[in-house]
Amino acid sequence: MHRVGFETFYISQVNQQSTHGVNTMQTNTLKKDEFSRTSNKLCKHAIGGFSFLTVGDHEPEDKMKALAVTLRDSGDFDDCKNADFEDLLVICGGSYFDVWHNVREYETTKDGNQEYKVFTDAEADREWEEYLESYIDDCMEMTDQVKQYFDRDKWKRDARMDGRGHSLSGYDSVEEFAHINNVYYYIYRNN
């Protein structure tokens, strides 16, 4: 990863007096000399005192906001004392997110420390169905004689009793959620 100068950064903050219980994000432009470290297309944001960086020079999409809110609420990241870019969390991705703990790590390693998937409710249900089908096809060893007696639908019904997190969160089997702009997003950590 090479370093490139960057004219402006964006800082976003959630309005604590949200409308109908929904957090809104407000974007403000800050000059690069207000930060002691810069990196190519990283933007600083804050949600209720929780600072994080994203890749790209635009306001985070709602899925990224949902992940940031989940990380903030988990209590695993205490960034109150962080004053430098290098100490802040970096998030990048689309529906699948990599989370780095600091800029130096982001610039020097290919893979992030933590990987998350973020879905709407319908997307999570589709992903869950694909996971269960894949599990039957790839992991269950059955002879052709046994397969004719195996009821896929009943097996999937029983497997669903443990919840989506059991299948979609490879790290701790937990399903987190965040409510952003009247949409619920479901977050699953995978490593």
Question: What is the per-residue pLDDT across 66-90, written as a single tens digit (0 to 9) for each?
Answer: 888 888 888 776 654 555 666 678 8
Side-chain-side CA neighbours of 131 within 13 Å: the count stands at: 16
The DSSP secondary-structure symbol of 80 reads T
Structure token pair of residue 159: 């497997």
Place of tokens 């969390």: 89
At residue 20, does pLDDT exceed 70? no
**pLDDT-above-90 percentage for the chain:** 32
The DSSP secondary-structure symbol of 181 reads T
How many distinct helices (H) and strands (E) make up the chain?
A: 6, 9
18 and 81 both lie in a single domain: yes
CB 52, CB 90: distance < 8 Å: yes
pLDDT band at 22 (very low <50, low <70, confident <90, very high): very low
76 and 151 both lie in a single domain: no
Decide if 26 is inside a domain: yes
List the domain range (segments joined by +) for residue 122. 118-189
pLDDT 10s digits, 23-70? 444 333 334 443 333 445 677 787 777 788 887 767 788 888 888 888
27 and 94 both lie in a single domain: yes
29 and 85 both lie in a single domain: yes
Q: What's the structural domain count of the chain?
A: 2
For residue 128, report the phi and psi dihedrals to the nearest 5 degrees: -65, -45
Task: Give the residue from 105, 111, 104, 90 showing the smallest Cα distance to 37.
Answer: 104
Task: Give the residue from 137, 114, 132 showing the smallest Cα distance to 187.
Answer: 114
Task: Give the residue from 127, 117, 113 showing the smallest Cα distance to 164.
Answer: 127
Over the Cα atoms of the chain, what is R_g? 20
Which amino acid is it at 166?
Answer: H
Q: Write down the mean pLDDT value for the chain.
A: 74
Using the 3D structure, point to which of 84, 117, 150 is the last residue of a domain: 117
